[in-house]
Chains A and B, each alone.
Chain A
Amino acid sequence: MRTRLARILTTSFVLAVVLLPIYWLVSTSLKSNREITQEGTLYPHVPTLDNYVRLFTEKQFGSYLTNSLVVTFFSVAIALVVGAMGAYAIARFRLPFAMERKVGLFLLTLRIIPPVVILIPVYLLMLSLGLLDSWLGLIATYTAFNVTFCVWMMESFFREIPVELEEAAMVDGDSRFGAFRRITLPLAAPGLAATAIFAVLVTFNEFLFALALTATPRAMTMPRGTATLIGRIDTDWASMAAAGVIGALPIVLFALLVQRHLVRGLTMGAVK
């Protein structure tokens, strides 16, 4: 009985700690700025959707959302295709001088280096290529980041699939690449999904490079666009809260939808 009570109390406490800040964000987004600063209410007394409407009519959140979706889609899709092939080569082939293992280790090392280290040179590179403030500049950057961990994650998924299955397919007349495409790739689908989900999360949420590489609604992503609302002197709390909700909603819904794969992707590697 006592342990049950303790359980209920602990669970409610954890739920409250996680959810109260989110409640406050949503509740603020439904208030007017006057209600926020002058009345300090604990819930919206006069709920309004004005803040949301303003984001799309006055603040170009439609563009930010489009940019985010386009950039995330292409950089994850390209990285998945390219990464799956690379991972497969590392997992299955034995090259001279153990080259495939060296490439794998090299990509892992690149993965450990914090991205901030190459912020300046990537900025200079995009500047010289005329790719600042463009989809292409962001897509190229994010694809490269995604490739490093797609290879690393998918390699371990491919290793779990028995070679014998491919050998059987090849005996039946498949080419090497055909065996990869028809047998191994479908079997690795759950792993691919976990990798893709993780890549989507990281890419959609990325801020630092979006901050340095974009400057106008032409290419600004959601996190980058949201940050433009933060003035140094007067702060439009209501818009900021609404922008927070709009900015986080797609990715939270996505994460809850694919929860099982997500947990697998987040925790793998650590436990192995």
Chain B
Amino acid sequence: MQIGTQARKYRLQGAGLDLALPYLMLAPGLMIVLGVLVYPLWDGLRASTRAYRYGSPISDVGLQNYVHLWSDAQFLNALWVTVKFVALSVSLEAVLGFALALFCLREFRGIRLLRTVLIIPMVITPVVVAIVFRLIYASDAGMLTALSEAMGGGAVQILGNRLNAFIGLVVLDVWEWTPLMFLILLAGLQSLPHEPFEAARVDGAGAWRVFADLTFPMMRPVLAVAIVLRTIDAFGTFDQVFVLTRGGPGEATRLVSIYGYDTAFKFQQTGYAAALFVTIGLVVLALAFSAIRLLRRIDAS
């Protein structure tokens, strides 16, 4: 059977000009990608081993930039803030998204409206999402302050306070991305086979038993993929922070992407920033590949 398909594929390829066809079809895409992604990637690696002044390389410093990162208190802080932000946001999104997906699994009136409305947060331009939350958090013009004053309270301080600003950022991310989690998990739930659940109902299993013994184990692969996708994405979060807090107050919401951007464009340390970004890229790739391996193990068992 295997050989049969293989032979057919060769036969399909034909002769003459058709032999060159796959290469001709792959070439334009590869050329664009090589020019605009791969060349810069290589160039970035090169830049990361150099010291720059006023935007031009002045000397080769080998791996010094990379070594320096791990004794840079600001980088370590940014990394810690990023890890906290990603872990907190993604786990909240997974729990809320899963709960909402279970809730929406049974068709009822109003569910289409709910699904439509839930699309809005994740398609709105991230910059605008950040503006929305600035308008909510602002101590003079914000919704929270307006509400508090309407109820006789005073101004609410969110973005001026370190802890509140960080929580405010997490809330923004949860508002924006729980819907995606919800959609992926709902699609997953809807694709589960019916038979085990009917059998469980015949056996008289309670809702919690069904969830713990059937739904959750069967949903584990989908849940894992959704979490991995969100984690990779959240690691690169930039727009929302840039507009909402610019990393402040102090360094409370300064994610690695923001620190890298400032290093490159504000402090003009091109080589050091390149090393920082390469390091982030490696971390995310390592994360992705270990996640893929983990998934294969789940699939196999």
Are A and B associated in one complex?
A: yes
Judge whether A118 and B133 touch: CB under 8 Å.
no
Judge whether B277 and A205 touch: CB under 8 Å.
no
Q: Which of A47-88 contact B (CB under 8 A)?
A: 78, 82-83, 85-86, 88
B226 on the interface (CB 8 Å rule)? yes
Judge whether A207 and B239 touch: CB under 8 Å.
yes
A156 on the interface (CB 8 Å rule)? no
Judge whether A120 and B127 touch: CB under 8 Å.
no
Chain A interface residue count, Cβ-Cβ cutoff 8 angstroms: 98
Residue from B22, B127, B133, B236 whose CB has the most chain A CB atoms within 10 Å: B127
Chain B interface residue count, Cβ-Cβ cutoff 8 angstroms: 99
A-contact 0/1 string along B215-243, CB 8 Å cutoff: 00000001001100100100110110011
Contacts of A227 in B (CB 8 A): 127, 242-243
Task: Count A-B pairs with CB separation below 8 Å.
Answer: 290
Can you offer 19 A-B residue contacts whose CB atoms are under 8 A?
Answer: A8-B110, A11-B114, A18-B179, A25-B131, A86-B26, A112-B232, A116-B261, A118-B44, A166-B12, A170-B12, A207-B125, A226-B127, A237-B141, A240-B135, A244-B135, A262-B123, A267-B184, A269-B225, A271-B222
Give the interface of B toward A (CB within 8 A).
Answer: 6, 8-10, 12-14, 17-18, 21-23, 25-26, 28-30, 32-33, 35-41, 43-44, 47, 100, 103, 108, 110-111, 113-128, 131-136, 138, 140-141, 143, 145-147, 149-150, 175, 179-180, 183-184, 187-188, 191, 222, 225-226, 229, 232, 235-236, 238-239, 242-243, 257, 260-261, 264-265, 270, 273-274, 277-278, 280-281, 284-285, 288
Given contacts A15-B114, A121-B44, A144-B32, 11 further A-B contacts (CB under 8 A): A7-B103, A8-B110, A37-B140, A78-B32, A93-B22, A113-B281, A121-B41, A141-B36, A147-B33, A223-B239, A271-B188
